[in-house]
Amino acid sequence: MTLAIELGWWIAPAAITAISYVVAFWSIPEPQPSSFLPDLGPAITGFINLSVATIISLVAWLVWSLLS
């Protein structure tokens, strides 16, 4: 049995996925210390960033599947 993986146009949405998640993780701010309440801003920002990265990834794969 032979398994061959060809580098084709699937590499474009895979690269878009990787880049979008790297940018999403890279742009999460550091939490600021506070005396009483935890800083939820970075958690909310991280959730939004990862949600946008997921949507970008899904759109890229959808476009790839419709064009191929």
Residue pair 53/20 in contact by the 8 Å Cβ criterion: yes
At residue 24 the predicted structure's pLDDT band, cuts being 50, 70 and 90, is very high
What one-letter code names the amino acid at 6? E
pTM of the model: 0.82
DSSP state of 17: H
At residue 3 the predicted structure's pLDDT band, cuts being 50, 70 and 90, is confident
Whole-angstrom Cα distance, residue 17 to residue 4? 22
User: What is the tens place of the pLDDT at every residue in 28-63?
Assistant: 988 888 778 888 889 999 999 999 999 999 999 999
The mean per-residue pLDDT over the stretch 3-21 comes to: 89
pLDDT at position 47 is 96
Sign of CA dihedral 58, 7, 2, 66: positive
